[in-house]
Amino acid sequence: MKFFIDTADLTEIRSLASSGLLDGVTTNPSLIAKSGRKFADVIAEICEIVPGPVSAEVAGTVYDQMMAEAQVLRKIAKNVTIKVPLTPDGLRACRHLSNDGTMVNVTLCFSAAQALLAAKSGASFISPFVGRVDDIGWNGMDLIADIVQIYNNYDFRTEVLVASVRNPIHVIEAAKMGAHVATLPPAVLRSLFSHPLTDKGLAAFLADWAKTGQSIV
């Protein structure tokens, strides 16, 4: 499974990129707004830090506006992925951009039917929002299972990018189902390291080592 992080915080991106665990970054207008900086500048800097896909979302809601914005965004760097909403105009833009060799992330997916349409439109990534589905009393992981099964049935090249991830359970369940990517808030990615038995075991090893009075270097 590939790990993307869902943030526009450059400090977090640099830190996690240095770990070697980061495969890409997703952003959205809300995350960019929190940075307080110019959109294009933030995306350009992220693309310099992370060589993998970096999603930059269009603000337009109609086809012509989406395409005009996409032309600007994809010139920022070769690894920019244009992010479009799962609407008729968004999928029309997806088809034309994909045909032109541009990576496209179709976002705000909440049903398997929508995911099927995105794959048929040539999306590089589909972003189903598991946490938001959970929030309305449904099971977000059931959505991931359905999309993965449908894509496997027809050998679609679209990668399932699990979004709105709230906890490590979402990550592990998605990985078990065969989802290609999880985009995580930095705190959730860091939480994958944590286990009380790891902490306990390390403390015991260090205590025993200290008793030897030795030094490796």
pLDDT given for residue 79 in this prediction:
98
Half-sphere exposure (Cβ direction) of 105: Cα atoms closer than 13 Å: 30
Tell me which amino acid residue 23 is.
D
Across the chain, the runs of DSSP E, i.e. the strands, are: 2-6, 24-26, 54-57, 80-85, 104-109, 125-128, 159-162, 181-184
Q: In whole angstroms, what is the distance from residue 186 CA to residue 2 CA? A: 14
- Give the pLDDT band of residue 145 (cuts 50, 70, 90): very high
Active site residue 34: no
According to DSSP, the residues that pair with 81 across neighbouring strands are 55
Mean pLDDT for the stretch of residues 141-147 = 98
- Give the pLDDT band of residue 152 (cuts 50, 70, 90): very high
Q: In whole angstroms, what is the distance from residue 183 CA to residue 106 CA? A: 14
pTM (2 decimals)? 0.95
pLDDT given for residue 144 in this prediction:
98
User: Looking at 34, 83, 200, 211, which residue is catalytic?
Assistant: 83
- The answer as to CATH 3.20.20.70 being correct for domain 2-212 is yes
Tokens 């993998």 -> residue? 52
pLDDT given for residue 52 in this prediction:
98
pLDDT given for residue 98 in this prediction:
98
pLDDT given for residue 205 in this prediction:
97
Instruction: Enumerate the domain spans of the chain.
Output: 2-212
pLDDT given for residue 186 in this prediction:
97
Mean pLDDT for the stretch of residues 134-146 = 98
Mean pLDDT for the stretch of residues 197-207 = 97
